[in-house]
């Protein structure tokens, strides 16, 4: 039928279109946006970004037009658009607001006064849409407000107003020429020339002790062997979607040394024979998107990568896409729903092909180790632990930020590296690895903050997102903040997580019924599909275990 629409008969035998009518103007606008692109199903999210960036939101006519251009059902496009928090799906007749102000509601920002700031912005800017938002990866400058593509740290009403309409400024970073002059990409060229073999590089990683820095801690070299065992063609994905609240180490490195990550990425791709690379970058990092786009073009110009060998993709505000299989679903242009495993992504990842997934910091260290040897990472020892950790530190410390310390460092070492406690604050509790790790009391101050050291305490290091609380903070309120985050970010695929997080919030807001909360936590941990639902109970369980007086 015309325009691919089905027709049905009215009572008098006349045919009329079924479903939403196609608007010619919207079709022309979408076609113009995509005129220089070969339309591919897996790029649906990129096309939604293009439309929203141009028109300020996603109207029903534009969604219908995009479905027409891509030969998809309107429902399929709508369900993807409505899944991601950063897409503003407009109601019929609704105009896009001039600006949307997103106030970060993470624990660090909440401790820095985000709720009061949110209320003030609602009063001062009734013409704008003011929303609470999950962590934006800038916890060291809390509270944070997103104004369009701008993210304002240590925000107040005055700085937010000043940011409206201002151009995006890039940080001062090491560009291709400077990195190249310092010996950059020499190791990559040597690998490609056959001076080094994949087995040799894999052994060097094993000797260094490098493990995945995204949170799971799987040995980096061993992951290569699993991907290499799969029949080609193979692919690679870079997980730059550090959505765990309190985490900002990947942003730190990308804003300073993007080519350390890029060379590590290309070495890893060479080692496993990846035919294409996808970089999945959080949408909260627009400055880094511009940096990577420019530096990938510089690599193409220098002949180090072929055109389209590396594809830079934007996330769209979904914490669940930090889970590797959900990220892969998103890369394929779908809702970010975690896959059941097995098969694991090393065997069946993007488009069903063997896929290597590394996060940004892991690749950063791969290039450092490749250029300087295993000792660059391994020759750091403390409390019996080998290696280095990048701790994202925020909360009640004098100088928040990324602190590079030996892996065996304790919370006292981290606080010391952060200038000590903030004035007027006494150390009370800490979050060692994001909300998923729960809260530990100050008395557990001699435990090394590394892989495999916190499990006996009901916690884990995860992404090493450390938030320090003082005696002026409530661990009960902190745990509620974390569960509200999990409830908002659950993908909804499995009942234990979807219903469990919401029910936990209701119980915590009313009264902490310990037996009921413990039963609920057991069900979530045992029956949830992925790590979100399995780890969401940790804030509850650690507060019940270590801070019984608070509940």
For the domain 176-372, what is the CATH code? 3.40.50.11540
d(C-alpha 409, C-alpha 388), whole Å: 9
Contact criterion met (CB below 8 Å) for 473 and 431: no
For the domain 383-471, what is the CATH code? 3.10.20.600
Question: In angstroms, how far is the first alpha carbon of the chain from the final one?
Answer: 64
Q: Give the sign of the dihedral formed by CA 274, CA 278, CA 254, CA 391.
A: negative
d(C-alpha 398, C-alpha 140), whole Å: 10
d(C-alpha 543, C-alpha 548), whole Å: 7
Top CATH class of 474-551 equals: mainly alpha
CATH topology of domain 100-163: Glutaredoxin (3.40.30)
- DSSP-derived secondary structure for 475-514: HHHHHHHHHHHHHHH--SSSHHHHHHHHHHHHHHHH---H
**Sheet of strand 150-152, all strands in order from the earlier edge strand to the far edge:** 129-133, 100-104, 145-147, 150-152
The answer for residues whose C-beta is within 8 angstroms of residue 334's C-beta and 6 or more apart is 44, 80
For position 284, what pLDDT does the model report? Answer: 95
The number of angstroms, rounded, from the C-alpha of 181 to the middle of its chain's C-alpha atoms is 32
Q: Tell me if the bond preceding 233 is cis, omega within 30° of 0.
A: yes
Q: Tell me if the bond preceding 294 is cis, omega within 30° of 0.
A: no
d(C-alpha 521, C-alpha 215), whole Å: 21
Residues of the chain with CATH 3.10.20.600: 383-471
Contact criterion met (CB below 8 Å) for 388 and 405: yes
d(C-alpha 242, C-alpha 35), whole Å: 32
pLDDT (tens, 9 = 90+) of the chain, 551 residues, equals 334 334 334 444 444 456 678 999 999 999 999 998 889 999 999 999 999 999 999 999 999 999 999 999 999 999 999 999 999 999 988 888 888 899 999 999 999 999 999 999 999 988 888 999 999 999 999 999 999 888 999 999 999 989 888 888 899 999 999 999 999 999 999 999 999 999 999 999 999 999 999 888 899 999 999 999 999 899 999 999 999 999 999 999 999 999 999 999 999 999 999 999 999 999 999 999 999 999 999 999 999 999 999 999 999 999 999 999 999 999 999 999 999 989 999 999 999 999 999 999 999 999 999 999 999 999 999 999 999 999 999 999 999 999 999 999 999 999 999 999 999 999 999 999 999 999 999 999 999 999 999 999 999 999 999 999 999 999 999 999 999 999 999 999 999 999 999 999 999 999 999 999 999 999 999 999 999 999 999 999 999 999 999 99
Q: Which two tokens stand for residue 87?
A: 């897409």
Residues of the chain with CATH 3.40.50.11540: 176-372
For position 165, what pLDDT does the model report? Answer: 82
**Phi, psi dihedral angles at 71 (to 5 degrees):** 60, 40
Sort strands 427-431 and 465-470 into parallel, antiparallel or unpaired: antiparallel
d(C-alpha 197, C-alpha 436), whole Å: 38
Residues of the chain with CATH 3.40.30.10: 100-163
Residues of the chain with CATH 1.20.1440.230: 474-551
Rg (CA), the chain: 24
């Amino acid at each position: 039928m015309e325009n691919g629409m089905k027709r049905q008969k009215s009572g008098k035998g006349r045919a009329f279109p079924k479903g939403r009518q196609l608007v010619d103007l919207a079709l022309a606008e979408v076609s113009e946006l995509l005129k220089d692109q070969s339309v591919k199903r897996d790029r649906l999210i990129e096309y939604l970004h293009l439309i929203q960036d141009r028109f300020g939101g996603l109207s029903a006519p534009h969604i219908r037009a995009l479905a027409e251009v891509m030969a998809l059902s309107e429902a399929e496009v709508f369900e993807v658009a409505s899944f991601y928090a950063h897409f503003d799906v407009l109601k019929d007749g609704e105009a896009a607001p001039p600006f949307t102000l997103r106030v970060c509601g993470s624990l660090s920002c909440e401790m820095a006064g985000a709720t009061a700031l949110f209320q003030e912005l609602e009063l001062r800017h009734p013409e704008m849409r003011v929303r609470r938002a999950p962590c934006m990866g800038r916890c060291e400058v809390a509270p944070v407000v997103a104004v369009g593509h701008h993210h304002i740290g240590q925000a107040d009403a005055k700085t937010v107003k000043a940011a409206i309409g201002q151009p995006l400024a890039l940080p001062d970073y090491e560009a291709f020429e400077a990195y190249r002059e310092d010996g950059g990409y020499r190791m990559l060229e040597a690998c490609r020339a056959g001076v080094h073999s994949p087995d040799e590089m894999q052994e060097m990683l094993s000797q260094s002790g490098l493990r995945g820095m995204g949170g799971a801690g799987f040995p980096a070299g061993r992951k290569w062997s699993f991907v290499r065992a799969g029949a080609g063609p193979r692919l690679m994905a870079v997980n730059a979607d550090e959505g765990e609240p309190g985490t900002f180490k990947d942003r730190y490195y990308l804003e300073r040394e993007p080519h350390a990550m890029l060379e590590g990425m290309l070495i890893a791709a060479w080692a496993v024979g990846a035919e294409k690379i996808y970089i999945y970058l959080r949408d909260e990092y627009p400055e880094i998107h511009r940096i990577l786009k420019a530096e990938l073009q510089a690599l193409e110009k220098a002949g180090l990568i072929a055109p389209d060998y590396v594809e830079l993709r934007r996330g769209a505000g979904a914490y669940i896409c930090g889970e590797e299989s959900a990220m892969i679903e998103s890369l394929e242009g779908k809702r970010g729903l975690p896959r059941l495993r097995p098969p694991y992504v090393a065997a069946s990842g993007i488009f069903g092909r063997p896929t290597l997934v590394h996060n940004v910091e892991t690749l950063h260290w791969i290039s450092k180790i490749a250029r300087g040897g295993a000792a660059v990472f391994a020759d750091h020892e403390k409390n019996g632990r080998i290696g280095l950790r990048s701790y994202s530190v925020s909360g009640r410390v004098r100088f928040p930020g990324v602190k590079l310390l030996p892996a065996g460092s304790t919370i006292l070492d981290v606080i010391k590296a952060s200038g000590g406690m903030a004035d007027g604050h006494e150390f009370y509790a800490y979050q060692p690895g994001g909300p998923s790790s729960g809260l530990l009391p100050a008395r557990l101050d001699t435990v090394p903050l590394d892989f495999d050291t916190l499990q006996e305490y009901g916690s884990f290091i995860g992404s090493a997102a450390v938030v320090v609380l003082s005696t002026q903070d409530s661990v009960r309120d902190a745990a509620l903040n974390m569960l509200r985050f999990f409830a908002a970010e659950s993908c909804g695929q499995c009942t234990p997580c979807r219903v469990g997080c919401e029910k936990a919030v209701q119980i915590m807001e009313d009264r902490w019924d310990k037996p009921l909360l413990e039963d609920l936590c057991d069900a979530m941990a045992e029956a949830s599909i992925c790590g979100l639902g399995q780890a969401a109970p940790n804030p509850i369980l650690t507060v019940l275990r270590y801070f019984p007086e608070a509940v």
